[in-house]
């Protein structure tokens, strides 16, 4: 059989030529079928790789395809030579084995190239994941920027034709600024340690970042407490109208009428001493809960004080306040007396904000500051007109409401970020710290630094605008 196959005396016709070419091609493809399948697999995944790698060609090593084409061309040419020399074409099985050996080297190279390609594909996939997550963070940041831009713009627009109260920011807000600045520094150091896979430093710096962030929250709460102590509540009026001293009730202390100037209580033009003010608060405490529908009962009153209602002294009989004509003070007037007691307890006279107008707080109208004289607000050199006086009596302290709304909204974002920091601290204490953990750390750093910059912007905004 083999003798006939390799006989040099055989002559080749067209039919034999075609059969020889098909048979040898089949043998050739049989040897490289596993490598040819590799080509198909690469083509099959080429579409995704093509898109994911920003229009890079799917083949890094073209030797596999070149060898395939060259092998088929080699068979065709040599069969033609065998026909011219009248030699059996199956002699080509001998050099074909050499070709297969050479091609197998190409297959090895293609496998190596495929492994390198898989590694590059995985790297490309990780880059895509990182970019996707970063884009999500940036979208969130952009939405937050738009949110606070809307509120700060609304703040400025609202200042137009209303009465606006301005006062210094509490100390707690300045301390919280220092805390969040320190936390950002610690976070930067933690990210640098993560790149070096220094688990010890990651733990230390992440704990420091978390504690500084908690410090920011604590100082913020302290700042809100300072605002409340100064009379700057989330929702209150600018002027005291309910229970305003002198409108219905007045008080005599040891034979002298107590007077009010802004938020100061005076006798003969002198501010009451601390002990006198405490004595007045103690006297008025009896009236803090006297507006109950079921009635009230006052056991006794200090002999140093005399309460006046519409310029008439009141007396206490059987636990009730009685006018000189014998009439009992009615429920509505007792409610006014309760509000007066609350105002004295909280140190309010004519303004809800504590302190002195022009020093501790300022009131503006259409960009011009108001002054105060003889219990009247002055717009320029003139007493505020009756319509404007009525308007300010009904006005709410919009500026303080905006201050609370904007800063509390920022505080809520900080609170959410603190939860994320706790998670990152927990991860830093794990035995391994891989690329995904580093990515989470860096993404958290982007958002945390943004919150720090946002707070700095808000602080400067309130410093120069509020």
pLDDT tens-digit profile of 225-245? 999 999 898 888 999 999 999
**Domain residue ranges of the chain, discontinuous segments joined by +:** 2-123, 159-236+397-464, 249-350
Average pLDDT over residues 246-254: 94
pLDDT in tens, 56-73: 333 344 444 555 555 555
> Per-residue pLDDT averaged across 341-368, rounded?
90
- The pLDDT, as a whole number, for residue 358 is 87
> What pLDDT, on the 0 to 100 scale, is given for residue 192?
93
Is pLDDT above 60 for 388?
A: yes
358 Cα distance to chain centroid? 36
Whether 21 has a pLDDT exceeding 80, the answer reads: no
Q: What is the pLDDT of residue 296?
A: 80
Q: Is the confidence at residue 108, as pLDDT, over 70?
A: no
Give CA angle at 325 (323, 329), nearest 5°: 30
Across 80-84, 118-122, 351-355, least confident range: 118-122
For the ranges 13-27, 51-65, 307-321, which has the lowest average pLDDT? 51-65
Is the pLDDT at 39 greater than 80, yes or no?
no
- Mean pLDDT over each residue of the chain, to the nearest integer: 79
Where is average pLDDT lowest: 3-17, 272-286, 448-462? 3-17
DSSP, collapsed to helix, strand or coil, labels residue 309 as strand
Distance in angstroms (rounded) separating the CA atoms of residues 172 and 206:
24
Provide the strand spans (E) within 298-373.
305-309, 312-313, 315-317, 320-322, 362-365, 368-369, 371-373
Q: Going by CATH, does the domain composed of 159-236+397-464 fall within 1.10.10.10?
A: no
- 149 contact partners, CB below 8 Å, separation of at least 6: none
> What is the percentage of the chain residues whose pLDDT exceeds 90?
42
The band of 15, judged by pLDDT with boundaries at 50, 70 and 90, is low
Using the predicted structure, report yes or no on whether residue 278 has a pLDDT greater than 60. Answer: yes
Entry pTM: 0.68
According to the model, what pLDDT value does residue 79 have?
54
Q: Which one, of 196, 53, 50, 197, lies nearest residue 126 by Cα? A: 53
Q: Using DSSP, state whether 404 is helix, strand or coil.
A: helix
Q: Residue 212: is its pLDDT beyond 80?
A: yes
The angle subtended at Cα 295 by Cα 289 and Cα 297, nearest 5°, is: 70
Residue-wise pLDDT for 392-446, tens only, equals 988 888 999 999 999 999 999 999 999 999 999 998 888 778 888 888 899 999 9
pLDDT of residue 292: 73
Q: How confident is the model at residue 3 (pLDDT cuts 50, 70, 90)?
A: very low
């Amino acid at each position: 059989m083999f003798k006939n196959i390799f006989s040099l005396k055989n002559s080749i016709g067209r039919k034999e030529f075609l059969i020889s070419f098909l048979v040898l091609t089949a043998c050739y493809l049989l040897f490289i079928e596993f490598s040819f399948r590799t080509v198909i697999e690469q083509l099959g995944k080429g579409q995704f790789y093509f898109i994911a790698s920003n229009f890079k060609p799917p083949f890094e090593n073209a030797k596999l395809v070149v060898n395939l084409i060259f092998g088929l061309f080699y068979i065709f040419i040599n069969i033609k030579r065998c026909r011219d020399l009248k030699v059996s074409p199956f002699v080509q099985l001998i050099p074909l084995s050499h070709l297969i050996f050479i091609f197998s080297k190409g297959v090895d190279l293609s496998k190596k190239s495929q492994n390198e390609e898989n590694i590059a594909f995985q790297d490309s996939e990780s880059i895509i994941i990182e970019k996707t997550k970063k884009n999500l963070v940036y979208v969130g940041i952009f939405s937050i920027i738009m949110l606070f831009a809307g509120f700060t713009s609304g703040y400025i627009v609202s200042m137009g034709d209303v009465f606006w109260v301005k006062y210094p920011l509490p100390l707690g807000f300045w301390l919280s600024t220092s805390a969040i600045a320190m936390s950002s520094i610690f976070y930067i150091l933690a990210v640098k340690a993560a790149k070096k896979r220094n688990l010890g430093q990651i733990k230390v710096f992440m704990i420091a970042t978390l504690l500084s962030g908690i410090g920011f929250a604590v100082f913020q709460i302290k700042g809100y407490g300072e605002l409340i102590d100064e009379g700057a509540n989330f929702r209150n009026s600018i002027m005291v109208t309910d229970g305003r001293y002198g409108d219905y009730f007045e008080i005599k202390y040891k034979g002298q009428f107590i007077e009010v100037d802004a938020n100061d209580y005076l006798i003969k033009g002198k501010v009451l001493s601390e002990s006198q003010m405490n004595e007045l608060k103690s006297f008025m405490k009896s009236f803090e809960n006297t507006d109950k529908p079921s009635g009230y009962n006052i056991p006794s009153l200090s002999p140093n004080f005399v309460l006046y209602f519409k310029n008439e002294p009141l007396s206490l009989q059987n636990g009730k306040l009685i006018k000189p004509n014998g009439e009992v003070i009615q429920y509505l007037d007792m409610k006014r007396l309760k509000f007066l007691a609350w105002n004295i307890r909280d140190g309010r006279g004519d303004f809800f904000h504590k302190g002195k107008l022009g020093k501790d707080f300022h009131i503006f109208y259409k960009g011009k500051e108001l002054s105060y004289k003889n219990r009247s607000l002055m717009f320029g050199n003139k007493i505020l007109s009756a319509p404007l006086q009525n308007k300010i009596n009904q006005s709410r302290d919009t500026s303080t409401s905006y201050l609370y709304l904007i800063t509390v909204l920022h505080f809520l974002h900080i609170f959410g970020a603190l939860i994320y920091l706790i998670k990152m601290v927990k991860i830093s204490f794990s035995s391994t710290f891989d690329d995904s953990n580093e990515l989470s750390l860096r993404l958290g750093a982007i958002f945390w630094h943004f919150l720090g910059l946002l707070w700095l912007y808000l602080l400067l905004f309130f410093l120069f605008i509020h």
